Structure 1
Amino acid sequence: MYQNINFIKIIEDAWHEYDSSRKIKAVEDISAKVSTNHVYRIRFEDDDITIAKLSYFGKFEHFEEDHSIINALANNLPAPFENFLAKSLTKHGKLFIYRHTDSVMDAWVVFYNPIKIDQKPDRKQSKEQISILGGELAKFHKACYKVVNTLPPTFKQTGDDINHLLEILKTERGKFDHRGHEDVIRQQCDLFMENCEQIGVSNMTSIPVFVDWNIGNFSVKNDYSFFSRWDYDWFRMSTRMMDFYFFSRVCSEVGDRTVFSYLINPLMEDRFMIFLKSYHKVYPLTEPEIRILKETYRFFILNYVIKDGRYFFHEFYASRLQFEAYETYFPNIDKSFDVDKILKALNL
């Protein structure tokens, strides 16, 4: 649909509005090839560099809300996370967002200072590394909790995403895209909402979560402590349990793979129990949070694979992942997730 759009011209226009006194020498597309997101490296005439992110998916208000929260978080986090997140550029003391609108698209651009990167995590973690990562996520979540009351308000909730998916199913486009699977989707949405209410997710504190913690999105130091984090496409305010599924994949026996799937199995691996135990020592988990872990996985599949998969992933990946969701992911949620195993491991 947007193949003939001159995205680089939009980036150049955005920068001109931000600071026309600094001239651009080159704009390079550095977007991930499995994703539909657009990320650019801007090189200026003095060889300084800035990163630009362009998005046209969803609502501008949600984009603005998310990036306002992320930028406040990046500036407010205490040590050792004061430089952990990439900081967005501001103008006259306010987060700068450029909005491009024409007859074809509504697109938004934010700029970031380049973030320093240390070491990429190994493709497969040792048990010692898994234990360290568990403690690091716990420390980061504690830091996020400390500053949560200083962040801008959020209005988007998981229930809104689920209701949006159900509304999509009523449209002609939604009926076409999800034909033959509407009943399964509705059933899974109902299960998510019912289980969240029964477990009491509304009583859980919402903190900033980045959801997508694959090893291409963060770097570590020599001792495997967190060094930096980038890629905020799936950011939201929610229960901290939203961050755990991707870490189960990082810890998995399979390790990082070029061809990936979103099976629930990593949540049940003994290697992930090591991660959870380490996390639990630093920032104790509760029984309701462990019970909601299954629902955060269900939400991930419903929201990021089914509802938004064709926006987040290129067509090949989106089609395969959605096919696997109906054939494998949904049928295995209740079959494979054993909450008692985790509760026992954590002595809860």
Structure 2
Amino acid sequence: MQTLDYFQIIRLAWEEFDDRHEIRGIYDVSAHVSTNHVYKISFFNRQPVFAKLSEYGKFEDFREDHIIINNLANNLEMPYENFLAQSLVKKNELFIYRYHQNKSSAWVVFYNPIKFKQKLPRRLDDKQVRKMGRELARFHKACYNVSKQLPMASKNVITDIRKLTKVLNCGGFCENQQHEDTLRRQCELFLEGADKVNYTTEIETIPVFVDWNIGNFSVRSDGKFYSRWDYDWFRESSRVMDFYFFSRVVSDVGDRTVFSYLVDPLMEERFMMFLKEYHRIYPLTEPEVRLIKEVYRFFILNYVIKDGPYFFRENFAKKLRQEAFDLYFPAIDKNYQVEKILKTLKL
């Protein structure tokens, strides 16, 4: 694959957006975990903007997600009306630059800078854990309240797993037959689990951001959400899709520099504490609780296995993929017990 000149693509994108303002400098501010790139752009005669550049997946999916996110950002009720970074619009349409040359493609979206306050500490105390449960519940309620005003998403968890199944049918995706058999079985288990809770007909869907690493959002001094700027895994799905990453946020171990995606945080007492507070504000149903296990399975299948090589940088992708076969999948039935959550929430 041709190596792209990201700085040149950013310059071409800005020239198409507004060629009146000369760029003074472009600075890479990416987290260097994913393959997406984030840049700060300074100018001589206007305030800076940020650019997100992506070259994996499909342009149509990137465009759809950012249109939905921008609609959400403009429609969220107080106190979340300024929580999400808003993309720049040109002539009443969200501006997305599409670069394509010599079979190489990339796309760029611009954001105004977003204010941020405090990041959560690496390890939360019990009071902060409870507060986070209540805050996510309130944010989810706000997302639910505007969900009917948002554009429809063309993809969902069912279609994504079926895409993975088709990839497996084409062959060559796995290093060996054992891994292929494991993935087929995990896909079957997910679809069976989703069918048991009537996912497509009974489970309410809202905008969810999935990846709630503490580096992706900031909070006020009272612990309430203040700003969020990372949308790599956005989708419209069940609200419980957000729970796995919050189980990691409130985990007794705390935030880790070297990370894995073990199922164990979903069983910690601190996550039970988090869920009880969430449930007080925005009660969960039994089918939703039973779905938590399957959305964790979906996360591993979709983001670690299917999209991992395109999203994560190569060293992370290989590590996480191998851990999926060695650790994540075997532990789902061994370590995860839905009855513990049902008992905690008295469902």
Once the two structures are TM-superposed, the CA of residue 68 in structure 1 deviates from its matched residue by 0.3
Alignment of 1:281-292 (within 5 A): 281-292=280-291
What secondary structure is seen at the aligned counterpart in 1 of 2:318?
helix
Offset, 1:173: 4.3
Structure-2 residue corresponding to 1:321: 320
The C-alpha deviation readout for 1:183-221, integer Å capped at 9, x for no partner, is 000000000001100122121111000000010001011
Q: Structure 1 regions of 5+ residues with no counterpart?
A: none
Letter matched to residue 250 of structure 2 = C
SS for the counterpart of 1:107 is strand
Partner-residue secondary structure (3-state), 2:113: coil
| 2:269 match | 270
1:183 aligns with 2:181: yes
The alpha-carbon distance between structure 1 residues 235 and 121, as it changes in their structure 2 partners (threshold 3 A), is same
Q: How many residues are matched?
A: 346
User: Structure 2: which amino acid aligns with 1:49?
Assistant: P
1:192 matched to 2:190: yes
CA offset at residue 224 of structure 1? 0.7
Q: Does 1:161 align with 2:160?
A: yes
Number of the residue aligned with 2:146: 147
The whole-number CA distance in structure 2 between the counterparts of 1:95 and 1:34 is 27
Residue 46 of structure 1: how far off its partner (Å): 2.8
Q: Name the structure 1 match of 2:89.
A: 90
* TM-score normalised by L of structure 1: 0.97
Partner of 1:114: 113
The whole-number CA distance in structure 2 between the counterparts of 1:163 and 1:347 is 34
Secondary structure class of the residue paired with 1:153:
coil
Q: Give, in angstroms, the shift of residue 170 of structure 1.
A: 3.0
- Per-residue deviation, residues 117-150 of structure 1 (Å, max 9, x unmatched): 1001000000100101111100100000000111
User: Could you tell me how far apart the structure 2 residues matched to 1:281 and 1:160 are?
Assistant: 33
Matches of 2:9 and 2:55 in 1, distance apart? 12
- SS of the equivalent of 1:291 reads helix
Q: Aligned equivalents of 2:315 and 2:94: distance in 1?
A: 35
Q: CA deviation at 1:28?
A: 0.9
- Structure 2: any 5+ residue segments left out of the alignment? none
One-letter identity of the residue aligned with 1:21: R
TM-superposed CA distance for 1:230, in Å, is 1.3
For the residues of structure 2 that align with 1:110 and 1:314, how far apart are their CA atoms?
21
* CA distance, structure 2, for counterparts of residue 16 and residue 254 of structure 1: 47
Counterpart-to-counterpart distance in 2, 1:131 and 1:34: 29
Which letter maps to 1:144? C
Identity fraction in percent: 57
In structure 2, the residue corresponding to 1:343 is in which secondary structure? helix
Structure 1 outlier segments of 4+, above 4 Å: none
Instruction: Identify the residue that residue 45 of structure 1 maps to in structure 2.
Output: 44
User: Hey, what's the Cα distance between the residues in 1 that align with 2:111 and 2:172?
Assistant: 35
Q: What secondary structure sits across from 1:110 in the alignment?
A: strand
Q: Which residue of 2 aligns with 1:73?
A: 72
Q: Which residue of 1 aligns with 2:17?
A: 18
Using the TM superposition, give the Cα deviation of residue 294 of structure 1 relative to its aligned residue in structure 2, in angstroms: 0.2
Q: TM-score, normalised by structure 2?
A: 0.97
2:309 maps to which residue?
310
Q: 3-state DSSP class of the match of 1:174?
A: coil
Rounded to whole Å, the distance in 1 between the matches of 2:82 and 2:36 is 24
Give the AA of the match of 2:238: T
2:104 aligns with 105
Cα distance per residue 1:2-21 (max 9 Å; x no partner): 5x310110011000000001
